Structure 1
Amino acid sequence: MNQTQQPGEHVFLELRARDAWSQREYESAQSIAREAAGLAASHGDENAWWNMSFLEAECFKKLGNIREAEAHARSLQEHPLTGRYPDLSSRVATFLAVALQGQGDLAAAAEEARRAVAIAASAADSPDLHITAQHALIAALAESDQLDDAWQECLRLAELITADVNSQTAGKAYWVIGNVAYLRRDAATGTDYHRRAASNLSPSNDLDLWARFNRASAALRLAGGVVEPETLECIERAELAASIVGGSERDKLELSLTRAHWLFLTAQYDAAVDRLRPICDASSLIASQTAAEAYMLLGQALARSGDALEGLFQLEKSQELFRQSGAPDREAQVGKLIDEVHRRAQA
């Protein structure tokens, strides 16, 4: 060990890493967390090493480096300390479920999330942990078109939201329940739960989370065909918050996709095409099911603006990406769109 290192130095570095995280300086937080983890290991402080290693994985995810985040979490999952404590094991499994979903591996994400839920349920006095794991499971099921199963898990999640749960956690839970309601074409229930989410989530507590919630709320409303002023307000709130917090390139692309969807549904087809092309060009940076949505919108917008041939080409890309992601209902939906474009072209 370097003789200049002091026994408490890794604690000071941990504070610096968490401060950088709170300031959304994720590259700096990741670098400091790695240094802190190394020092903690050299001092034999296993708990500090674990916490800093997990923070490093979270920084990778925030920066859009999903594969690195997954690899880091896998190494933590295999560590003996994780195996000894259910709360640590559930945190890692939940993190992995989200990372796998972010890479378009929806079946593996659902499997990991089920594992996280089972472990969290066995952890004493950890309602927030259980809710977070349940949230990840619902998101994975919903993305893979298992909406009936997702809704059953939503009903279980609703039972976990008690007065003891902090408002941010409750807000995120209401958020995911609303998401599934929208996907089930129950716009009234979806809007109700998203309003509950908005009343619990505060931009002053976490502006980045506020931005992501408003983007997701708008995206689900648009997916349900809900084109109204409240939907546009969600998009504008998300864009304003994102302009302040920045975010990864993935975040920016997903927000731009939401605006493109609004343009498409309001019949601004040329503007939608102009916004969608750069998103599709950078589709390797987003989850495959999200890229599939971008190609689907681009294909429809091109067909509506008179370019049926290229529209069909983009729709076929979308169909293949949904197939790869394990989203059969949306794959079939694109198949119907392809048939419609063919019929119109031949008419």
Structure 2
Amino acid sequence: MNQSQQPGEHVFLELRARDAWNQREYHLALKTAAEAAAMARSNADDNAWWNMTFLEAECLKKTGAFHDAQRLAEALREDVLTQRYPDLSARVSTFLAGTLQGQGDLALAAEEARRAVAMAASAGDSPDLRITAQHALIAALAESDQIDDAWEECLRLAELITPDVNSQTAGKAYWVIGNVAYLRRDAAVGTGYHRRAASNLSPSNDLDLWARFNRASAALRLAAGVVEPETLECIERAELAASIVGGSERDKLELSLTRAHWLFLTGQFDAAVERLRPICEASSLIASQTAAEAYMLLGQALARSGDPLEGLFQLEKSQELFRQSGAPDREAQVATLIDEVHRTADS
């Protein structure tokens, strides 16, 4: 052991890393976790090394470095400790599913999430772990337009939500079930589940999660054409929470996209175009399927505001991005929009 290291010093670094994470100082948490992991490794403390390395990966994801987070998690998956314990394997695969989905690699995300579900089931009595893995699988299936399969997994997820489950975990589970209900065009069921989610998620416990939930809830309501005061309230709550939390550039772009969608659906096409252009210009910072949604909205808004030629150009970009992401239903949806703009322009 290095003479400059004092007994328990790596424990102090772990506490500092966790504190920075809790304060949403992700770059500081990343640096401190890396130091703690290195010191734990030199002290042959495998458990501490694993936890701090996983925290490093989480920090990388939070700062938008999805590819780096993926590589670190893949290395962690091969570690002997991960392979020895199903709960650790489930955590890593759940995390990997999220990073792959965040990069638009939806097929691999679903595959990784299925692995997480299998490992979580073999980890014994750990409902939170199983719910989190199931959540990741549903999200990946839904994003790749496998809505029927996603709903089947939702029914399995609902069975796991018992009174013993942590309220935040239950809230996230209700959230994803509501998402899929909206995608199935069942707005009443979707709204019901999102209301249950809201009653379990607390802004005082995790303001960042609260912001993301309200943004996602608004986005799904808008996708289902639900333009009502409750939808606008979700957007405003998300914007208020985000103004306090801050968040990554990706978070800000996704929230701005939700507001742009509201503007489009309420007939404010010029305002929607003005908001959508910078989102599309920075589309490399968001998942490809999310970028495709932005280009789709921009194309529609341009066509409605009197510029069908540029609108078609943006819609073609959207179609290609949905194709790359492995979202065939939404690719077909954009193809229909392109035909409509052509017919309108020719008439």
> TM-score of the superposition, structure 1-length normalised?
1.00
Separation of aligned partners in 1, 2:17 and 2:335: 48
Separation of aligned partners in 2, 1:77 and 1:307: 50
Separation of aligned partners in 2, 1:332 and 1:211: 31
Deviation at 1:7, TM superposition (A): 2.6
Separation of aligned partners in 2, 1:125 and 1:242: 36
What letter matches 2:325 in structure 1?
S
Separation of aligned partners in 2, 1:28 and 1:99: 21
Aligned to 1:225: 225
Aligned to 1:12: 12
Describe the superposition over 1:66-86 as per-residue Cα deviations: whole angstroms up to 9, x where unpaired. Answer: 111101101100100000000
Aligned to 1:343: 343
Describe the superposition over 1:32-84 as per-residue Cα deviations: whole angstroms up to 9, x where unpaired. Answer: 00000000000000000000000010001111111111011011001000000
Aligned to 1:2: 2
Separation of aligned partners in 1, 2:128 and 2:204: 20
Deviation at 1:6, TM superposition (A): 1.3
Describe the superposition over 1:244-282 as per-residue Cα deviations: whole angstroms up to 9, x where unpaired. Answer: 000000000000000000000000000000000000000
Separation of aligned partners in 1, 2:126 and 2:282: 39
Separation of aligned partners in 1, 2:13 and 2:89: 25
Secondary structure at the aligned position of 1:247 is classed as coil
Deviation at 1:96, TM superposition (A): 0.2
Describe the superposition over 1:131-177 as per-residue Cα deviations: whole angstroms up to 9, x where unpaired. Answer: 00000000000000000000000000000000110100000000000
Separation of aligned partners in 2, 1:121 and 1:21: 29
Aligned to 2:86: 86
Separation of aligned partners in 2, 1:330 and 1:337: 11
CA RMSD of aligned residues (A): 0.5
Deviation at 1:2, TM superposition (A): 2.8
Describe the superposition over 1:179-212 as per-residue Cα deviations: whole angstroms up to 9, x where unpaired. Answer: 0000000000000000000000000000000000
Question: Which is worse superposed, 194-203 or 120-129?
Answer: 120-129
Aligned to 2:145: 145
Aligned to 1:303: 303
Aligned to 1:258: 258
Describe the superposition over 1:79-107 as per-residue Cα deviations: whole angstroms up to 9, x where unpaired. Answer: 00000000000000000000000000000
Aligned to 1:51: 51
Alignment of 1:201 with 2:201, yes or no, is yes
Separation of aligned partners in 2, 1:271 and 1:252: 18
Aligned to 2:279: 279
Secondary structure at the aligned position of 1:202 is classed as coil
Q: What is the 5 A alignment of 1:178-193?
A: 178-193=178-193
Alignment of 1:70 with 2:89, yes or no, is no
Separation of aligned partners in 1, 2:332 and 2:72: 36
Aligned to 1:167: 167
What letter matches 2:9 in structure 1?
E
Separation of aligned partners in 2, 1:76 and 1:237: 37
Q: Is the Cα contact below 8 Å between 1:69 and 1:99 reproduced in 2? A: yes
Separation of aligned partners in 2, 1:21 and 1:193: 30
Aligned to 2:215: 215
Secondary structure at the aligned position of 1:337 is classed as helix
Separation of aligned partners in 1, 2:71 and 2:268: 42
Describe the superposition over 1:93-127 as per-residue Cα deviations: whole angstroms up to 9, x where unpaired. Answer: 00000000000000000000000001101111210
Q: Give 5+ residue unaligned stretches, structure 2.
A: none
Q: Is the Cα contact below 8 Å between 1:7 and 1:43 reproduced in 2? A: no
What letter matches 2:190 in structure 1?
G
Separation of aligned partners in 2, 1:139 and 1:47: 30
Separation of aligned partners in 2, 1:266 and 1:8: 59
Paired positions, count: 347
Aligned to 1:126: 126
Separation of aligned partners in 2, 1:202 and 1:159: 23
Aligned to 2:37: 37
Secondary structure at the aligned position of 2:20 is classed as helix
Which stretches of structure 1, 4 residues or longer, exceed 3 Å deviation after superposition?
Answer: none
What letter matches 2:164 in structure 1?
D
What letter matches 1:258 in structure 2?
T
Percentage of pairs with the same residue? 84
> TM-score of the superposition, structure 2-length normalised?
1.00
Separation of aligned partners in 2, 1:285 and 1:54: 23
Deviation at 1:308, TM superposition (A): 0.2
Q: Is the Cα contact below 8 Å between 1:73 and 1:92 reproduced in 2? A: yes
